[in-house]
Chain A
Amino acid sequence: MEKESLDKLKERARRIRLQTVKSLGEAGSGHPGGSLSLVDILTVLYFQVMHIDPKDPSWEDRDRFVLSKGHAAPALYATLAEAGFFPKEELLTLRKLGSRLQGHPDRKRTPGVEMSTGSLGQGLSVANGIALAGKLDGKDYRVYVTLGDGECEEGQVWEAAMTSVHRKLDNLTAFVDNNMLQIDGNVEDIKSLRNIGARFQVFGWNVIEIDGHNMPEIAAAIELAKATKGKPTMIIAHTIKGKGVSYMENALDWHGAAPNAELTQKAMGELEGDVRG
């Protein structure tokens, strides 16, 4: 994939946020906060890093992406539409009966969705399996997976974290979208994951901490991951929940509630007027 300029990437991220908010407003339910916090990572992955072919979603040498924090589906769908896996108009069918865009990702329905997710804690295991198959088949594809920070309270994440290291899965790069909030409150209050990077480091991961909204930092971290041999890389991305919409930023209430028509317009106005793009 040819590298895009930073300005172009920022413009894509802005459009993806806009489509994310618009589809959530239309759906009337869903998870804006953790979708918006992930957009810059998704943008770098899909438009700067991953080898993919939107015309051939099951191309066997493609890089693979697993959205372990499946509730960020609206951001993934908007990214896939931006990449051309399906028409953007389809984003307005999100969560509606018969739609290819289910509330949480469904690999059987949606072109470009590698794995069905939504129940937290399971994606890293799946990504390990894909990475193992890649090694077994002598393939060069790389596997990317994004976890939520609250998701790391699931025991299976740590079972899987041991597997990634034990199997030396250096073809695997994981992200924690570390937005510090989960449904019931601050991650710190619910069940502290303080020093989450150190925790993965002790498990044997190559850990990199970055600003998850700084695209050059995201890209540089992925390059470091690619260059790291013999162990998987965990990128702890410090993010802002609801990033890009003023009233949603760091606001707990927007974890799992969609904006009404008025607030959707307000959010879209902000994103459309975002001159930084």
Chain B
Amino acid sequence: MAKKMATRDAYGNALVKLGETNRNVVVLDADLSKSTRTSKFAEKFPERFFQMGVAEQDMMGTAAGLAVSGKIPFASSFAIFATGRAFEQIRNSIGYPELNVKIAATHGGISVGEDGASHQAIEDIGLMRMIPGMTVIVPADAVEAEKAVFAAVEHQGPVYMRFGRSAVPVIFDDSYDFKIGKAVVLKDGSDVTIVANGLMVEPALTAYELLKDKGISARLINVHTIKPLDVETIVSAAKETGAIVTAEEHTVVGGLGSAVCEALSENYPVPVRMIGIRDRFGQSGSPEELFREYEMTPEHIAEAALDIVKKKSKLRG
């Protein structure tokens, strides 16, 4: 059985490694450091850790000030508070001045589970994607999460990273090549393309197998960077497979599905089916129960793929 690890744990570990190699890295948290795992950095580098209390807006502004002064601040909270409560601070004090702040949010999506809708960010990626110049990354597993953190430090400018609460299977190994803005084709195929990111990549891999059993050749692309979007890889997939299914742990309004549709509409329109949350809030439950309730399981992805392959054939007449 595959090893399991939460992407937030990978984030916490990566921060400690960065702290050792880059003295400009500083970390801020808003009273959630044990949950976001920034507490590990805090223990090791207390002079470079800023506990801001329950004050996300102030945290983002302070991070901006540290960035103005040449630091590379990582500002962490739960995704809902980081992007929702402090949206306008991120927009005006980080995005607009193009400051080198890394917003590293944990507890993205419904996989937060039992805490319920108030704590489940399903709009964060849309909010961050709308800000001009903001890079948005949603890692799929612990390996990708760590590589994303290292890449974010090398990238000059604001970055939003979304990590998850729950332990999820480790999909990639250390040889996995991560570049911001470069989507990764995990499986090649010709009948349909599944575009997924974050915690939906692993169910998409299972969906790939389900489709294979039914004689459908699916391509699977991990679009870990929603912005800048790897339009070329997505459009090639549209041209070569003729149909796309997107899978995201986010509302289908404004997230990965929307981004893919925007790219396809302008370049090469093909039928699309979006797996994600459909204009609803989350709720309490285990992550597994919630993925079923919101129709985001491997079976749902496979079903959508089968459906769209049929639709594609009909269109072709």
Q: Which residues of chain A have a CB within 8 Å of any CB of chain B?
A: 106-108, 114-116, 118-119, 121-134, 136-137, 155-156, 159-160, 162-163, 166-167
Contacts and interface: CB of A to CB of B under 8 A. Distances in A.
Contact of B61 (A106, A108, A122): A122
Nearest to B101: A129
A127 B64 CA distance: 9
A81 B61 CA distance: 27
B57 interface: yes
Contacts of A127: 65
Interface residues of B, number: 30
Max chain A C-beta neighbours (<10 A), residue from B55, B58, B67? B58
B70 interface: yes
B132 interface: no
B68 A125 contact: no
A73 B200 CA distance: 47
Contacts of B50: 132, 167
Given A128-B61, A136-B47, 16 more contacts: A107-B97, A114-B68, A122-B89, A122-B93, A124-B61, A125-B58, A125-B64, A126-B65, A127-B65, A128-B65, A132-B65, A156-B89, A159-B57, A160-B61, A162-B53, A166-B53
Interface in B31-83: 47-48, 50, 52-53, 55, 57-71, 73
A150 to B, nearest CB: 17
A107 B205 CA distance: 46
A116 B58 contact: no
A125 B92 contact: no
A127 to B, nearest CB: 6
Contact of A128 (B47, B62, B73, B98): B62
A210 B22 CA distance: 44
Interface string B265-307: 0000000000000000000000000000000000000000000
A183 B48 CA distance: 40
A108 B97 contact: yes
Nearest to A125: B61
Given A133-B69, A156-B89, A126 B61 contact: yes
Contacts of B128: none
Contacts of A115: 64-65, 68, 93, 97
Contacts of B63: 129
A132 B62 contact: yes
A166 B50 CA distance: 11
A162 B51 CA distance: 12
A129 B97 contact: no
A201 B73 CA distance: 30
B66 A133 contact: yes
Contacts of A128: 58, 61-62, 65
B55 A163 contact: yes
Contacts, number: 104
A132 B66 contact: yes
Nearest to A118: B92
20 contacts: A114-B68, A115-B64, A115-B68, A115-B93, A115-B97, A116-B93, A124-B61, A125-B64, A125-B89, A126-B68, A128-B62, A129-B68, A132-B66, A159-B57, A160-B62, A162-B53, A163-B52, A163-B53, A163-B58, A163-B62
A127 B62 CA distance: 7
A156 B57 contact: yes
Contacts of B88: 119
A167 B62 CA distance: 12
B61 A156 contact: yes
A126 B55 contact: no
A156 B61 CA distance: 9
A130 B58 contact: no
B176 interface: no
Max chain B C-beta neighbours (<10 A), residue from A119, A129, A163, A166? A129
A109 B198 CA distance: 37
Contacts of B70: 133
Contacts of A129: 61-69, 73
A108 B47 CA distance: 30
B60 A125 contact: yes
A215 B12 CA distance: 50
A255 B19 CA distance: 47
Nearest to B50: A132
Interface string B1-43: 0000000000000000000000000100000000000000000
A116 B66 contact: no
B65 A125 contact: yes
B57 A136 contact: no
